Amino acid sequence: MGLERIEYKKPAQLQRMHAAGLVLAEALDRTVAAAEPGKTTKDLDAVFAAVLAQHGATSNFLGYYDFPATICTSVNEEVVHGIPGDRVLQDGDVLKIDGGAVVDGWHADSARTVILGTADPEDQRLSDVTEEAMWAGIAALATARHIGEVGDAIDDYVSAQDGAPLGILEDYVGHGIGSAMHMAPDVLNYRSGHKGARIKPGMALAIEPMLVRGEIETRTLEDDWTVVTEDASRASQWENTVLVHTRGIWVSTVPDGGAARLARYGVTVSPLA
């Protein structure tokens, strides 16, 4: 993907991406609120789909290479791309909900980790560190000259944490987004020694670290979608879509544009004109 052309959006196109992000944020809010022990992952898919329909938005997951649902639901050792179905959620499950929305042909992509019921403290730490690593990467983007600085910031944050080391997956990374869900450039979540593409206004990036409590090796199940850790260690995923424009950055998949979470990094977000 690194050799593909990067799509630079015009201001009006970024506005449409913002609209898609707000719909997605609401859909994820409603889906997270519905996630509880005893529900099936298919139940959650129905909640998410209903919110999109209410707003006249469509899912960018449904039908993507024949994916059969509107969200990915990955539980415990499942890292990403889990297919909603009849699995009944249990107390203590670590659930990753990854979803997308399309408004007027423009995309948004976001993911959250939810721990159901009583959380194992180490699972909660895993999710908390993954979430904050995402925000550290977004904060770095605000002043970065090159894409590689995002991965540097994520890696530095994770490596600086006390406690048992957490692994950063390298096989699955963030990406450009816009008129399609997955576009150039790749956004690595780790130090690679490569600068990557230069940051320019009009870029839109999905920043999504995935961390595990064990080793970073993964495999794909027979459904050709669900990715699991080889050692069965639990995983977390957090993701937001970030818009780069002439006055700064705006997180399209958070109602306040990321203002509250980025303030601790000294970053002031800039609403789209």
Q: Which residue ranges make up the annotated binding site?
A: 81, 98, 109, 175, 182, 208, 239
Q: What is residue 23's three-state secondary structure?
A: helix
The H or E element containing residue 248 is strand 248-251
Known binding positions for substrate: 81, 182
Measure the CA–CA gap between 166 and 38, rounded to whole angstroms.
Answer: 29
| Closest to 35 (Cα-Cα) out of 79, 93, 121, 77 | 93
Known binding positions for a divalent metal cation: 98, 109, 175, 208, 239
The three state secondary structure string of 36-63 is: CCCCEHHHHHHHHHHHHHHCCCECCCCC
CB 148 within 8 A of CB 124: no
Query: What phi and psi, each to the nearest 5 degrees, are found at residue 136?
Result: -65, -40
Looking at the chain, the number of H-run helices and the number of E-run strands are: 5, 14
- Rounded to a whole number of angstroms, the CA Rg of the chain reads 17
- Can you say how many angstroms the Cα of residue 203 is from the centroid of all Cα atoms in its chain? 17
Measure the CA–CA gap between 52 and 45, rounded to whole angstroms.
Answer: 11
CB 138 within 8 A of CB 254: no
Checking DSSP bridges between strand 227-229 and strand 78-80, what pairing results, if any?
Answer: antiparallel
- Can you say how many angstroms the Cα of residue 25 is from the centroid of all Cα atoms in its chain? 12
Strand partners, 243: 204, 250
